[in-house]
Structures are given as structure tokens and as C-alpha cells.
Structure 1
């Protein structure tokens, strides 16, 4: 009897997890289908009104610009919290000239001249 209860419990858990996965998959498909329908209606409206059909995009958002904003604010926060604002300013000025932060600490390579083209 104990073996039957264990087997029934395992199968019940498997079935429940399978149903949860199926519901999750169907929800994702509904969201993807809604976005596709929205894009199709937008393209149809643009064609009916004679406007150019523009692809859906992030529209001016640059992931690189977002990273730079976060990176700079983090460096400024660290400089203010440690009280070494002059070191942070020196690092920023070196990074603007093309020298990476911490490049002066590297000892196992030979430095070369930078040739600008």
C-alpha cells in the first residue's frame, strides 16, 4: 500500500508540474501572439494611411548608453563614499584619453605606442 501511495504521489506531482508548464507556455504564446497582432494592425494602418511601415524597435534606446550611465554613476558613488574624488577624476580623465583604468598596475606585458589611423 505504501508503494502505491508513493507512486500515485509521484505521478500526481508530475501531472501538476506538466500542467503548470503548459499554462506558462500558453501564456507566453498568448503574449507573443498579441504582440504579433498589434504589429500587424499597426502595419495595416500604416499601409492604409500611406505612411511608411516602420519596424518595431527600441526607438533610440542604446544599451551602451545605459551601461555608461550606470557605470559612471557607480564610479562617482564609490569615489564619494571612499573620499577619493581626485583619484576618480584622474581615472575618468585617463579613460577619456584611451587608457583603461588599472592599466598602470599591469607588469607582465610590454607597452606599445598607440597608432591612430
Structure 2
């Protein structure tokens, strides 16, 4: 999956860091007059061969709590893209929005 290509199709820029620490990419957005906006969107990519699709159409994917906490503390939006390599299909959520709508219980944070 080429996230950079998809991002560029909508008129934004996708930058990939030179090291593999932290986020896998950063989206720069632009105003209609082509000025760079002052905020970024961080992108975290996860790939798997065995994605679990639930009855309601949502996917189930395990994440490390340390990652979730770091993403939630980030000032800029964090988009998690989960790529189903077997079916060549990507799914995404905006982490901060997702956990605002669906806060974790104490039990879930231990898993």
C-alpha cells in the first residue's frame, strides 16, 4: 500500500522520516491557496496477514498500550492505518477521535 500516493491524490504531502523511530510518516495539509497549514497529521502503519473482521464489519487488531498512550498524548492527530496484506486492503482510524468515542475500561488497558 502506498500511503504517499493516496495522500498526494487529495493534494497533500506525505513525508517519511529517515529513521524508523516514532511515526511512519507525516501528512502536511494545505489551504486552498496552497499555503501550508500549521498542523500535521502523524501516520502509524501496521501490516498483518491475518486480520480479523468482526460481524459488524469492524476489524480487530492488537496494539501495545504504550503505543496507544503515546499516540493519545500527541498534540497532532494520529492516524492508524492497518493494512491487510493478504487482501491488499487498508483500514484507518484517527486515534484521538476513536478513543474519545470509545474510552477504554481499566480491564481493557491490561490486555
Q: How high is the TM-score relative to the length of structure 1? A: 0.25
More strand by share: 2
Return the index of the structure with the highest Cα Rg: 1
Structure possessing the higher relative contact order (Cα contacts under 8 Å, 6 or more residues apart): 2
